[in-house]
A and B are shown apart, each in its own frame.
Chain A
Amino acid sequence: EDQVTQSPEALRLQEGESSSLNCSYTVSGLRGLFWYRQDPGKGPEFLFTLYSAGEEKEKERLKATLTKKESFLHITAPKPEDSATYLCAVQGGAAGGTSYGKLTFGQGTILTVHP
């Protein structure tokens, strides 16, 4: 069974204070690791997909990296508008299998950036 664990559960930063969020996973045949951002009362918003160990992707102040066991979301010089819950999810399974396509999510990290 696929499993995802995110840490820390909550993170408070001062504006401009860089940090990282961790996503540890176990999956049978990783097909993709996804990062989403979720604001209160809204659905998750897609950020990145990573496919293989060593891959990195960037978007504004965010950078996602992937190893064989975990992924990190690095936040550089965060601003208050970066405050949100960040969700990590994995997609696994063999091609044509019944679990192919569904996402297994972690519980999320609640990020608060103070001005």
Chain B
Amino acid sequence: GAGVSQTPSNKVTEKGKYVELRCDPISGHTALYWYRQSLGQGPEFLIYFQGTGAADDSGLPNDRFFAVRPEGSVSTLKIQRTERGDSAVYLCASSSRHGPGYEQYFGPGTRLTVT
């Protein structure tokens, strides 16, 4: 079946611009996660949603980062006033439920480059 999809696959933007990254989770998955992965590092947690609400946004680095999931399916990660340090691969994952032991399935990621 269809996995997690993310668009765009690559995004190049200028410093100071606004960007939106989209995630389509696996159909029926209620929990959705965003991670950020820098070169040579493991993914770093940003935020997760259970349904429409953000259950934990403790990983968002600052108030330039914001994410929504208005209908409990598709999610958008929004970054304002981008900085060169925001360059990374942004990964989205979903799981059938929120809680212990439910494996998270990852999308291919969006590679963001801020010039």
Chain A residues in contact with chain B, CB under 8 A? 4, 31-32, 34, 36, 41-46, 49, 51, 87, 89, 91, 95, 98-108
Contacts and interface: CB of A to CB of B under 8 A. Distances in A.
Interface string B78-97: 00000000000001010100
B48 A102 contact: yes
B61 interface: no
Contacts of B99: 31, 100-101
B30 to A, nearest CB: 11
A91 B56 CA distance: 14
B42 A106 contact: yes
Contacts of B101: 31-32, 49, 51, 91
Interface residues of B, number: 31
B12 interface: no
A62 to B, nearest CB: 15
A76 B75 CA distance: 40
Contacts, number: 80
Given A107-B42, A108-B42, A31 B106 contact: no
A46 B105 contact: yes
Contacts of B41: 107-108
Contact of A98 (B55, B104, B108): B55
Q: Which among A46, A103, A106 has the highest number of chain B CB atoms within 10 Å?
A: A103
Nearest to B92: A43
